[in-house]
Structure 1
Amino acid sequence: MSNGSGVVVGVDLGTSATKVVAFTPEGRAVADAAEHYDLSVPQPGYVEQDADEIYQAAMRALRRVIDSAHLRGHEVLAIGLSSAMHGVLCVDEHGEPLGPLITWMDRRSAEIAERWRAGGTALELYARTGAPMHPMLPLCKLRWLSEHEPQTFARAARFVSVKELLVYRWFGEWLIDHGSASGTGYFDVQRRAWDVRALELARVGAERLSTPASGLTRRTGIRAAIAGTLSLVRDVPLVLCSSDGALANVGVGAVDATTMAVTLGTSAAARVVTEQPCFDERGRTFCYALDDTRYVVGGPTSSAGGVLTHLLDLLLPDVEETERFARAVELAGSVTPGAGGVTCLPFLSGERAPYWDAELRGGFLGLDLAHDRRHLLRAAMESIVFALFAVARVVEERAGSVSALLLSGGLTHASLFRELVADVFGREAWLPDQPEASAFGAAAMAAVAVGVLSDLTAVRRLVHYPERIATDAQRHARYARAFARYEAAVAATTPLVHAVLS
């Protein structure tokens, strides 16, 4: 990037917070803000959010960052958007929400996903969409709405995400970038168009969805009221960009197949960028669009920070909520690798890659009277990394082996998790100097769209890695044995869980 005193702003509409950061042409953050919000779980399997709350949080965070950038004498050159994937919001003909946002964590459509998996429909669609069948997909959610809430389904003029809602409120146009569209389950990732058969299964026509567009699409002419609220001139371009996962790759510099982005946040993922679409014959990994010529291949897990938070509530109720994570890391760090033979299955909300089984459930195995909560905490943290390692092995099978792991996400702020990744994976793990990877990735893609950056690969010279964690051979060997126990536990308990739930 190079453009005088200008800054490019990245906005990441995340699951637990909206994060906004303004970056200089050299990739230096000059202003940042975050606004947090809650998830609602009105009944088992339902995980929802208030779309208006998220939108207002984004507006507040944006205003703070823009004001701060202006005070430092910076002009806003462009704004790039990142967003969590797979959410569905029903809106009326005026674009107003008819109910809550159904998030990626929601499992109410599990039976529909399983029906399509069992009947072969899942793999048929995957060959075109690159989206493994799971209740996270809007495809499954829309079919569920049509069957279980037909009145709401009929009233909805459109089915959109929070990112699409923001674009509509700013410009009066319904648009969805190819990266976000890839996560719906009804987008042909090679043709870059809605898939006719998938839309039939979702029981919607294309007229009730946003128009797919390149992630480099830019819009100017923000509505006057919005520009006034944000203290922006109306011709500042908004760039659609891509999904949060794909942009996290950009934000850590993992923009080809030689390095793997490893994200450990509310959820987790392992991803590489490829020049050609890359599918798995068993549908274990996703293949989504990144930009006009690149794809992001990988897999997400549901077993990460969100699950850990719940376990900490159960195991550390005597510790103040704001101090639980640090205390948990301290306690877990006092136990040797392998957690004294305790194995945790972290599937408190089912699991996505590589199993794509919403009915998986969590538990601890191997407990005896010598164990205490320190061992449970250690086993839980190890299991989060084991779950991600199981994904990474499949990604490397399909896209080739990588030389380094580039880290992002809140859990990697703890040195224990950074060491776990390096030791479990048996690869050097690099911690970049951009803590908000998705926001930085959005800013970088926006910079490409407005000509401030030549290409996404140029981001490599803007990202530095002040910490590189080498693998410890002895710990790696111990984790290999612990991972084997983990895999055996998953294989042994999966039939039992399905039998109990049926």
Structure 2
Amino acid sequence: MAGIDIGTTSIGVVIASASGETVSIVTKANDSDLRSKRSWERIQEPERIVAIVRELIAGCEPYWKDVSAIGISCQMHGMLYVNRAGRSVSPLYTWQDGRGDLPLKQGEESYVERLGKLTGYSMSSGFGLTTHYYNALNGEVPEEAAFLCTIGDYVAMKLTGAAVPVMDPSNAASLGMFSNRLTAFDAAAVARAGIDAAILPPICKENGIAGTTPDGKVVACAIGDNQASFIGAVPKLQGTLLVNIGTGSQISLFSESHEEVAGLEMRPFPGGGCLLVGAPLSGGKSYALLEQFFKAVCLSFCDAEMDDALIFERMNEMAGQALDNGLGQLRFDTQFYGTRNDPNGLGHAAGIGPDNFTPGHFAAAVLTGIVDELMGFVHVIPERLLATVTGAAGSGNGIRRNPVMQRLLRERLNLPLHLAEAKEEAAFGAAVHAAAVTGAYPDLNAAMAAMKKG
């Protein structure tokens, strides 16, 4: 089984045996970012992403020939346009794109605010249909655009030669205006927004299969990276709270039934059920912001360019020492990039005194702030669901590479913290998903039980 994960900053391919043994892992930086004169625009080149995926597949030889099924995980919310031949005709507008927060006219509400009022759905800038709404109103939808889709759907098209994208509910819901009850885009809401529903791709059929490669490998419909990480990181679907910290961050808990909880997103799960998700706009990138500050200080005063990995290592060391000595009243609110409800919000620091005005205390306080923001979402999970949680799983490099973050999570959650053994959780989860949908195992739970994370 093979799993492909298309992240915002990196792309990885994992090949695993039927028993879950990882036989090959290859990764590469996602260098597809496109420059824009618009400060709020975040776009990537889809064809470059496809080229990276093909490079990674080539790097998996000689294991690739034994692969029977391919799963795909991808960054959620973002979208691109394709023509009727299945070729991209736009950049990938990523989840970080800010056009939805722009005002329709000077002094008026934003595009995302208007869209929410029209549809009754909670929309955010960066959601695919928010981006399309802006583009449609401003004449920026390419004339030849036939469908919009996620980057995972597009890679599936390129692997199978399909001309029409098919979208798993886990990705469709991330675009917005998706009815979990109907497992379909909400046609009435789409119409109220003035969007032509013909541009929406079909939802992947129950078998979860997107197509077949020319050499006979079955390709599963792409799933969201949050759901894929959950599959790849937790020992079983029920009873484990997943904390993921990468560029962003999430807490996720599986529910067999659809649960509407104020303050949490309900995301469809492949095969049924849902994930209850709390997703701040920041996470590891907040810690990276502090690293950039320290790097700028070194360059300004010492004219010395320091290696990023060495700076992070030293930051972690100092943060651990600062926690041992106590932070005093020092607190960092790490909402440097706003929140989904307040995109213009800013972070702040409080409780600074002579004893904690040190680089180590600042590093510890930023890490603590990241964890505190996540804990705010944990606290709104209904008690009856929290009572079923017996452990926590940690995934993402923001946890895996940072023992101080692991320590803080164990202390705040008061739960055992299991670190996923699979080094690329989302890619591994995509491979497990592919094993389930292609019939190698009866269902996803059986696939997860058999494919020990190794």
TM over 0.5: yes
Aligned partner (choices 173, 187, 198) of residue 182 of structure 1: 173
Taking the aligned partners of 2:136 and 2:115, their CA distance within structure 1 comes to 16
Give structure 2 stretches of 5+ with no counterpart. Answer: 102-109, 299-305
Q: What's the counterpart of residue 469 of structure 1? A: none
Which residues of 2 match residues 324-339 of structure 1 at below 5 A?
A: 324-336=311-323, 339=327
Contact 2:204 2:210 in 1 (8 A): no
Residue number in structure 2 paired with 1:345: 333
* Alpha carbons 2:241, 2:253 under 8 Å: kept: yes
1:151/1:40 CA distance change after superposition, 3 Å: closer
Residue 215 and residue 17 in structure 1: after superposition, are their counterparts in 2 closer, same or farther (change >3 A)? farther
Distance 1:80 1:216, change over 3 A: farther
| Greater helix content | 1
State percent identity of aligned pairs.
21
Task: Find the counterpart in structure 2 of residue 487 from structure 1.
Answer: none
Mean Cα displacement is larger for which, 84-93 or 53-62? 84-93
Structure 2 residue aligned with 1:141 = 131
- Which residue does 1:84 correspond to in 2? 75
Within 5 Å, give how 1:316-465 maps onto structure 2: 316-317=295-296, 318=298, 319-336=306-323, 339-352=327-340, 356-370=341-355, 371-397=357-383, 399-401=385-387, 402-413=389-400, 414-458=402-446, 459-463=448-452
Q: Which residue of 2 aligns with 1:112?
A: 111
**1:54 aligned onto 2:57:** no
TM-score (norm 1): 0.80
Alignment of 1:202-351 (within 5 A): 202-214=193-205, 216-223=207-214, 234-253=215-234, 255-280=236-261, 282=262, 284-317=263-296, 318=298, 319-336=306-323, 339-351=327-339
RMSD, matched Cα: 2.3
Q: CA deviation at 1:195?
A: 0.6
- Asked if structure 1 preserves the Cα contact closer than 8 Å seen for 2:316 and 2:404, the reply is yes
Identify unmatched segments of 5+ residues in structure 1: 1-7, 126-131, 224-233, 466-502
| SS of corresponding position for 1:287 | strand
Q: Does 1:29 align with 2:16?
A: no
Q: Deviation string for 1:271-298 (max 9, x for gaps)?
A: 1111111112x3x211121123221121
**Residue in 1 that maps onto 2:105:** none
8 Å contact from structure 1 (residues 82, 242) kept in 2? yes
2:88 alignment counterpart: 97
> What amino acid is the match of 2:331?
T
Residue 364 of structure 1 aligns with an amino acid whose one-letter code is: A
The answer to whether the Cα contact below 8 Å between 1:279 and 1:398 also exists between their aligned partners in 2 is: no
Is contact 1:19-1:61 (8 Å) kept?
A: yes
> For the residues of structure 2 that align with 1:100 and 1:362, how far apart are their CA atoms?
31
The 1:220–1:162 alpha-carbon spacing in structure 2 relative to 1, beyond 3 Å, is closer
Report the Cα offset of residue 216 of structure 1.
4.1
Q: Residue type matched to 2:406 in 1?
A: R
Whether contact under 8 Å (1:407, 1:431) holds in the other structure is yes
- Matched length: 429
Instruction: Please list the CA deviations of residues 66-97 of structure 1 after superposition, one character each: whole Å capped at 9, or x if unmatched.
Output: x1415xxx711111111110012133444433
Partners in 2 of 1:395 and 1:41 — Cα distance? Answer: 40
- CA 1:348–1:222: 2 relative to 1, 3 Å: same
Q: CA deviation at 1:343?
A: 1.5
How far, CA to CA, are the matches of 1:417 and 1:407 in structure 2? 10
The answer to whether the 8 A contact 2:34-2:44 is kept is yes
Give me the whole-angstrom Cα distance separating, in 1, the residues matched to 2:408 and 2:66: 41
Out of 127, 144, 149, the position equivalent to 1:160 is 149
Distance 1:306 1:55, change over 3 A: farther
